[in-house]
């Protein structure tokens, strides 16, 4: 077996290991709220499977690292508080509270997991969205429905969406949807009057994949170094 072939085989094996370790996908979500800074309203996070309940592929949406510039939460316990219509602010299978770790589960018998929390908007906010679970581990499923995470912003009485064009009836600021082929669609809807969206969604590396790839590159480097030493001696 040639040296070049061994190197190629090693690199391929490491790449496969990194792929197999990809048990989650993460996105950095940034929202520019400078145009509504100072206003009171609501953040709404939704996680659902759009298909029949008996076709649900179990998944988990975790929100971590929530940060805001100039913003603040004006509800201390969304689990006990209600919105202006007297409806509970948490629905489905949800645990945790912002700005800590928030988890929304997509499981059978729960059509939608929803978390609504009062917020005083500053100039921006951001968080890391991580999708994991069986639906992510084994993503290819022809004909299956897949999970989708949505971000919505509402005004103080939840009668109108914020930062999206109201003329097209849109209320979702943005969405991450998983496809049956294992791919992901990132959607950012236009701002008021058709302006550019205030939302940006950027994929970030899964830590384990990065770690394996770094180890792999280091291993290949050691092999090359040893070969150069032997060639010189």
Taking only the tens place, the pLDDT of each residue in 190-202 is: 998 888 999 999 9
Is there a contact between 136 and 178 (Cβ–Cβ < 8 Å)? Answer: yes
Residue 8 pLDDT exceeds 50: no
Say which range, 164-168, 172-176, 187-191, 217-221, has the weakest mean pLDDT.
Answer: 217-221
Overall pTM > 0.85: no
Cα gap 206→154, rounded to integer Å: 31
pLDDT digits (tens, 9 = 90+) for 89-137: 999 999 999 999 999 998 877 778 999 999 999 999 999 999 998 877 7
Computed over every residue of the chain, the mean pLDDT equals 80
Query: What was the pLDDT predicted at 49?
Result: 79
Query: What was the pLDDT predicted at 1?
Result: 52
Query: What was the pLDDT predicted at 213?
Result: 44
Domain boundaries, the chain: 23-205
Q: Stretch 26-49: mean pLDDT, rounded?
A: 96
């Amino acid at each position: 077996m040639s040296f070049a072939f061994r190197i190629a085989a090693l690199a391929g094996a490491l790449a496969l290991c990194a792929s197999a370790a990809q048990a989650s996908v993460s996105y950095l979500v940034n929202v520019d709220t400078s145009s509504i800074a100072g206003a009171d309203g609501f953040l709404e996070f939704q996680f659902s499977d759009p298909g029949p309940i008996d076709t649900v592929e179990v998944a988990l949406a975790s929100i971590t690292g929530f940060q805001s510039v100039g913003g603040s939460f004006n509800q201390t316990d969304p689990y006990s508080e209600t919105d202006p219509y007297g409806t509970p602010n948490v629905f489905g299978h949800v645990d945790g509270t912002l700005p800590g770790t928030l988890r929304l589960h997509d499981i059978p018998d729960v059509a939608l997991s929803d978390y609504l929390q009062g917020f005083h908007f500053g100039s921006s906010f951001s968080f890391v969205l991580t999708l994991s679970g069986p639906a992510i581990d084994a993503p290819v499923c022809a004909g299956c429905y897949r999970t989708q995470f949505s971000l919505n912003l509402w005004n103080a009485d939840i009668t109108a969406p914020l930062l999206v064009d109201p003329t097209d009836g849109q209320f979702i600021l943005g969405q991450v949807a998983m496809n049956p082929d294992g791919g992901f669609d990132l959607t950012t809807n236009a701002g008021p009057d058709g302006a550019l969206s205030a939302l940006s969604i950027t994929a970030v590396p899964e830590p384990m994949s990065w770690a394996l790839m770094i180890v792999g590159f280091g291993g290949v480097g050691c092999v090359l170094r040893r070969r150069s030493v032997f060639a010189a001696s």
